[in-house]
Every structure is written in C-alpha cells, then in structure tokens.
C-alpha cells in the first residue's frame, strides 16, 4: 500500500466516515468535529454503528475510552463489542451511549482530594474534536480508541484534556472579539495551533536491563560522562546510524497510519539523543497526537531491541530532553495571526496580539513555570541547562526594535527604517532565519509562532497549553477592554491602540530578554528586574495557590479553585513519590552494588601491594588509599541518605542522592571497567 493510501488508515476521519455513515450524519458529525459544536444526540447511535463496523473491518474486537488522567500518561479500559445472542452465538454491538459516555472506576486515579472515595464514579465523555483511532500492536491486536475527557461525578475535571478544551473556549471567545475589533473576516472557528518537537534518547535494551536506575526511575542515578567521546562531538545532525534509521522509519509509518503528520527526524545534541517533529495541527488534536507519539516511540523501540527514554534528564553531564512547544493561533479568517502582516492594518492586529502575549507571559510567568513542573524537568530548568527556570521572552533584533519604537512613540530612526505609527506604517518584513534563534530562551518568537521550550519531554502538552491559552485570552481581554474604554470616550481607534500598547510595553518589557539565558549574569539581572526564578517543582506549583491564578482560571471557566487545588496536591504528591523512589533505588544500588565493589577493589589493591616494585608500590598504595577513602565516605553518605529517606524530605533525599553519587562516581573512575557492576555511560551512549 502506498504511503498516501496508508496515511490515516487507522483513523475514523473524514475520509473513512464518508464510507460508514449516511450523508446527513456524516455532515453533522463533520460540523461537530470542525466547529466544536455540541454533538446532535440523535446521530450518536448511527455514528457508533459506523465506527464499530469500521473497527471490525480492521480486526478490532474491543473499544476503549482513551483519556489522560492526572498520572501523566494515558489510560484505557477495553470492552469487547461482543455480547451473547439469544440464538447461542454472539452479536457485535456498540451503542451511541457507549460511544459518548463511559464510567470507569475513578477511585484509583489521582484526584487530589477532589473526590471522596464514596464518589468513586468517574465519567469519560467523548471528545469528537479528536477523531477515534485504532491502536494495533505488533501482533495485530487492534482496539478502537475513543478520545475522551475524564471527570468526576459532579463534572470536576480529573484529566488534562478537559481544562485544555475549556481554555480553548476562552481563547476562541477573545479571538472572535479581536476579529470584530479589527473588522477581520469571521467565517471559521479560530483555534490555537501546536507543533511539539519531541526529544528522546535510545538505549540498547540489554544494556538498559542492567541498569536498575534506568529501569526503575527512567534516569541514571549514577555514572560518569566520558571525558571525550566521539559521539559527544559530532552527534547533532550527524549521520543517522542504520538501526536507528530503521527504527525511525517504522515510527514514521506507524504515526502516518494514525494520521499523525511526522515530518522531521534527526540526531540531537547529546549522544544517543534524537528528535521527531510533526507538522503543526489544531492544538487539542496535536496534544493527543503527541501522547500517541510517545507511546509509539516506546513500542517501536522495543521491536528494535532498544528502549526509548522520554525522561527529561536520563544522563548527567549531557543535555536533557524537552518538548519544544510551538504555539500560534489561526484566526477566524483562517490565517496565522502571529505572522506579521503586509498591511498597516494587519500589523496593528499582529502587534496587539504580540503585546498581549508579552503581558500575559510577564503577569503569569509563575503559572507557566508551574505548568511544566515535574521532578524530571527540574533537572533541566534551573540547572544550568536549556532553558532556564526564569521565564523570559526572546523576540529577536527586528521585533525588539519595533517594540522599542512602539514604546517611545515616534522614533527618529530605526533599524527597520522609518517611523512606526500603528495603523499607518507597515512593518518591515521580518526575516525568519537562523539569526532569529536563541536556544537559551524558554519562550522564543520564531518568525510566525512562539516556541515554549520549557515543556518536559515526558510531559503531556495539554497542561502547558492550557496555561498559554488562558494567559493570552486574559491579556487580550484586558487590552481590548482598555482600548474600548478609550474609544468609547471618543479617542480614535489607532491612537487608542497605540497608547494602550505603549503603556503595556512599559509595564511588561522586563520580561523581554535576548541574551544568554544560561549565564549567571542573567540570573542576577532577572533578579533586579523582579522576574521569578523558580528552580524546583515545589516552589513552582505554589502558583496554583496564588489568588491571581485562581481568579484567572475561575473567571475563564478553566478550573475552579477546588480543581486547581487538586492539581497542586497531585503534583506535590507525584513529585515526592518520584524523589522517594529515586532515593530508594539509589540507596539499594549503592549498598548492594557499588559499596561491595568498592570494598573488594580496595582490598584487592591493598593485597597486591606486597608483591610490587617500590615505584609501583607507591602508586598502587596511593590508589588503594584513594579507593578506601571513597569507600569510607560512601558508607557515611549511605547512612545519611537512609536517614533522609526515613524523614521523607525530598530536599534531603535529593541532596543525599547527590552526595552518594559523588563517591560512587569517583569509584567508577578507579575501578576497572570490566568489574564495574553496571554498564557505563560510554556503553549506554553507544547505539548502533
């Protein structure tokens, strides 16, 4: 089958629907999917039958409501289509009710106190804006998956999709208002777009199995980066090794079947690190597609004798993995509104949207930081790595210049050449090239979209995008309110816009930063500017308890105060659980693998001393001394780690792990590689 024929073959999308549904139902469902309008209940039964027939044709025996509980992964519970018939056989059936609503036992999913256990019932409800698909494993076992939101008995959101959809509604409302304000054509439902670039590592499955830390926690808790490593030097965009390329090709084929527009694949900067980027899509769909992409990466890796690591920081000393969250909006005129326009009028709209984004990001930087907070991502954010935990915006030279002109009013001259007057002057054509890149910025304008780079490679995009939509909707609302307040008093529109944008830039320009985000100077400068630097999850999630954030989410109908508090509780518990798991794993490995090895090697060295020449004797006994000093220190640190675990303090546990690691890593540098109980970084980095 050609790629074109195969593309989307596992999706109940427009093409397939046409074959399995009557014309009338098809039209109605298509409108629901496209415009996000409510589903006409009278067609649910027919849609269900069509979907079932399609799924059966593909060999599916079961269906499942597919959802994203707050655990961070996706969940599914399979039900077969088959019921005993009165004649003694079975009949396949699937009703509209089964399609649109499910009732999984919610009591084992995290609810952060939202749902007392006596209200264990949870509901899943069909999200028709993300099409149903068939998941097929390598043995051909096929399941019909129906994307759903997951909520509690009283409608409380227990997942990541419900708030995302609600935040989209808030944004859509403001985008229509912008269209009206600027007299822009309003013929389609506007929507946010998302293109998540996914980074990941690959390790050989055999090597992986010998590392209890990787198996249990997804990251190495010990290990020394080789001083020089060929793969450290020229991995980025390097030639893709055969086995990896075959893996990538199969990943692409699997994704295409699911209608996921995988586009780019390449080696990333760290050894054994890679990236996959899709073509951007409507945000909710793209977010679901990213969850599936992570699953497919893991499944296909297994078939190639490898393990795909989506953890944010599997290896110390080399770059971790993120998800570059490319975000934009397509207006009701069907155009990308973050593309600087050709006419002064379009530019005015572009600048208003841009300044609103700046206002939103500056005002709610802690919320954005919270939306990407996790134990794994803490090792990237705030740890001298891209991107920093300080949320700032990179605009690039040209746009910075334009913003500066706007702030000042009428400038004498400018890089762009000319005077910038809103609604009158044209913007220069902004080059969308490599000079506009700054890899250290957490939030960068890249020509026609913003790239939020702080999202962790293992996270769902939904939470970060919920925050993004929310803050932009809020800022647009505020800015338009201010403009309307002026125009209602008789100020002409362009002057009102100009003065409001000037004021907003003055207030929020502190968040703009084009320099090196890794540097210590920036940390100091950011502090002077009053920008928050929230280096760990526990600090970051405090944003969920900030009255300003509570009001933001409540007013926009995204999350009630109770729902938001439940996020706080869940993220905190999850963080503590991850750190505790790591601490216990580190303790066991140190006690049962590294300490015994350190002891026996020290003894071996000491024993061998007697039979040596004087010169060798001196060298070996100094090595023996070094080894036994490390062993002694390790014993002490193991005791302290054990104590920290007893106290259950994540901060102490992290510190304890760090200290234990120092001595284990020091021993790894002394003990012969062939004797070291686990594969080294060098062995893990080799993937060919």
Among 326, 356, 438, 459, binds ligand ADP (CB under 6 A): 326
Three-class SS state of 204:
strand
In the beta sheet, which residues pair with residue 63?
Answer: 79, 144
Structure tokens at 147: 């994307």
Which helix (H) or strand (E) segment is 327 a member of? strand 323-330
Listed ranges 97-105, 190-198, 522-530, 658-666: which one lies at the site for ligand ADP (CB under 6 A): 190-198
444: contact with ligand ADP by CB under 6 A: no
For residues 235 and 324, which CB has a smaller minimum distance to Mg ion in the complex?
324
Binding mask 227-266 for ligand ADP (x = CB under 6 A): ----------------------------------------
Listed ranges 61-69, 294-302, 316-324, 512-520: which one lies at the site for Mg ion (CB under 5 A): 316-324
Binding mask 528-567 for ligand ADP (x = CB under 6 A): ----------------------------------------
Counted residue by residue, the chain has a size of 688
**For 13, phi and psi rounded to 5 degrees?**
-105, -170
For residues 270 and 326, which CB has a smaller minimum distance to ligand ADP in the complex?
326
Count of CA atoms in the C-beta half-sphere (13 A) of 40? 14
Listed ranges 324-332, 467-475, 528-536, 558-566: which one lies at the site for Mg ion (CB under 5 A): 324-332
- Phi/psi class of residue 548: alpha, beta or left (left: φ > 0; alpha: ψ in -120 to 50)? alpha
Residue by residue, DSSP assigns 494-506 as: HHHHHHHHHHHHH
Q: Choose from Mg ion, ligand ADP, none: what does 39 bind? Cβ within 5-8 Å by kind.
A: none
Q: Choose from Mg ion, ligand ADP, none: what does 336 bind? Cβ within 5-8 Å by kind.
A: ligand ADP
What is the rounded end-to-end Cα distance, in angstroms, of the chain? 29
**Contact residues for 153 (Cβ-Cβ < 8 A; gap 6+):** 115, 119, 121, 122, 123
Nearest approach, Cβ of residue 540 and Mg ion (Å)? 24
Contact 543, 532 (CB under 8 A): no
Contact 554, 100 (CB under 8 A): no
Structure tokens at 200: 């990941």
Which helix (H) or strand (E) segment is 601 a member of? helix 595-608
For residues 338 and 589, which CB has a smaller minimum distance to ligand ADP in the complex?
338
- Phi/psi class of residue 423: alpha, beta or left (left: φ > 0; alpha: ψ in -120 to 50)? left
Binding mask 264-303 for ligand ADP (x = CB under 6 A): -------------xxxx-----------------------
Nearest approach, Cβ of residue 385 and Mg ion (Å)? 17
Residues touching ligand ADP, count (CB under 6 A): 15
Contact 361, 471 (CB under 8 A): yes
Q: Choose from ligand ADP, Mg ion, none: what does 445 bind? Cβ within 5-8 Å by kind.
A: none
Among 111, 193, 217, 347, binds ligand ADP (CB under 6 A): 193
Contact 305, 206 (CB under 8 A): yes
Nearest approach, Cβ of residue 444 and Mg ion (Å)? 9
Nearest approach, Cβ of residue 330 and ligand ADP (Å)? 7
Enumerate binding residues for Mg ion (CB under 5 A).
324
Question: Which residues contact ligand ADP by CB under 6 A?
Answer: 193-195, 197, 277-280, 326-328, 336, 446, 448-449
């Amino acid at each position: 089958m050609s790629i074109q024929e195969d593309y989307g073959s596992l999706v109940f999308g427009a093409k397939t629907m046409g074959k399995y549904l009557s014309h009338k139902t098809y039209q109605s469902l298509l409108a629901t999917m496209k415009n996000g309008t409510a589903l006409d209940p009278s067609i649910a039964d027919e849609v269900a039958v069509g979907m079932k027939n399609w799924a059966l044709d593909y060999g599916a025996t079961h269906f499942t409501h597919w959802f994203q509980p707050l655990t961070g992964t996706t969940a599914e519970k399979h039900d077969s289509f088959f019921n005993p018939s009165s004649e003694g056989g079975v009949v396949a059936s699937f009703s509209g009710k089964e399609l649109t609503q499910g009732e999984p036992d919610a009591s084992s999913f995290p609810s952060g106190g939202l749902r007392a256990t006596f209200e264990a019932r949870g509901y899943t409800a069909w999200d028709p804006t993300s099409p149903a698909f068939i998941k097929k494993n390598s043995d051909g076992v096929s399941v019909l998956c129906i994307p759903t939101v997951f909520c509690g008995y009283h409608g409380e959101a227990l997942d990541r999709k419900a708030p995302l959809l609600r935040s989209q509604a808030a944004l859509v409302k403001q985008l229509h208002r912008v269209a009206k304000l600027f007299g822009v054509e309003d013929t389609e439902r506007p929507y946010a777009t998302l293109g998540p670039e996914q980074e990941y590592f690959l390790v050989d499955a055999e090597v992986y199995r010998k590392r209890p830390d990787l198996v249990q926690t997804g990251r190495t808790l010990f290990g020394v980066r080789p001083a020089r490593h060929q793969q450290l030097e020229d991995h980025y965009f390097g030639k893709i090794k055969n086995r990896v390329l075959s893996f990538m090709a199969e990943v692409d084929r699997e994704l295409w079947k699911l209608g996921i527009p995988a586009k780019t694949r390449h080696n990333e900067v760290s050894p054994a690190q890679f990236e996959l980027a899709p073509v951007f899509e409507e945000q909710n769909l793209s977010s679901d597609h990213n969850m599936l992409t992570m699953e497919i990466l893991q499944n296909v890796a297994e078939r190639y004798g490898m393990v795909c690591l989506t953890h944010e920081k599997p290896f110390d000393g080399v770059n971790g993995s993120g998800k570059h969250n490319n975000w934009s909006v397509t207006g009701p005129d069907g155009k990308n509104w973050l593309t600087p326009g050709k006419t002064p009028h379009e530019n005015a709209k572009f600048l208003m949207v841009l300044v609103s984004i700046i206002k939103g990001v500056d005002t709610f930087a802690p919320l954005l930081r919270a939306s990407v907070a996790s134990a794994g991502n803490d090792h990237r954010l705030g740890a001298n790595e891209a991107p920093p935990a300080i949320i700032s915006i990179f605009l690039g030279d040209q746009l910075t210049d334009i913003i500066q002109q706007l702030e000042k009013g009428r400038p004498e001259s400018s890089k762009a050449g000319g005077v910038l007057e809103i609604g009158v002057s044209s913007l220069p054509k902004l080059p969308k090239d490599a000079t506009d890149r700054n890899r250290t910025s957490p939030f960068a304008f890249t020509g026609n979209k913003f790239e939020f780079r702080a999202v962790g490679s293992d996270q769902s995009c939904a939470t970060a995008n919920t925050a993004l939509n929310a803050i932009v909707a809020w800022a647009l609302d505020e800015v338009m309110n201010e403009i309307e307040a002026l125009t209602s008093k008789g100020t002409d529109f362009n002057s009102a816009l100009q003065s409001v944008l000037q004021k907003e830039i003055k207030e929020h320009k502190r968040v703009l930063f084009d320099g090196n985000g890794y540097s210590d100077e920036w940390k100091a400068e950011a502090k002077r500017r009053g920008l928050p630097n929230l280096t760990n999850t526990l600090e970051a999630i405090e944003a969920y308890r900030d009255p300003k954030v509570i009001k933001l989410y409540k007013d926009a109908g995204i999350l009630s105060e109770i729902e938001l508090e439940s996020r706080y509780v869940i993220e905190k518990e999850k963080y503590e659980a991850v750190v505790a798991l790591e601490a216990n794993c580190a303790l066991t490995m140190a006690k049962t693998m590294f300490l015994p090895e350190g002891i026996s090697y020290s003894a071996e060295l000491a024993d061998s001393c007697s039979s040596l020449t004087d010169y060798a004797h001196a060298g070996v006994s100094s090595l023996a001394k070094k080894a036994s000093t490390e062993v002694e220190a390790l014993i002490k640190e193991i005791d302290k780690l054990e104590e920290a675990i007893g106290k259950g303090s994540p901060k102490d546990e992290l510190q304890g792990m760090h200290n234990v690691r120092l001595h284990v890593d020091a021993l790894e540098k002394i003990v012969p590689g062939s004797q070291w109980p686990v594969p080294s970084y060098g062995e893990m980095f080799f993937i060919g």
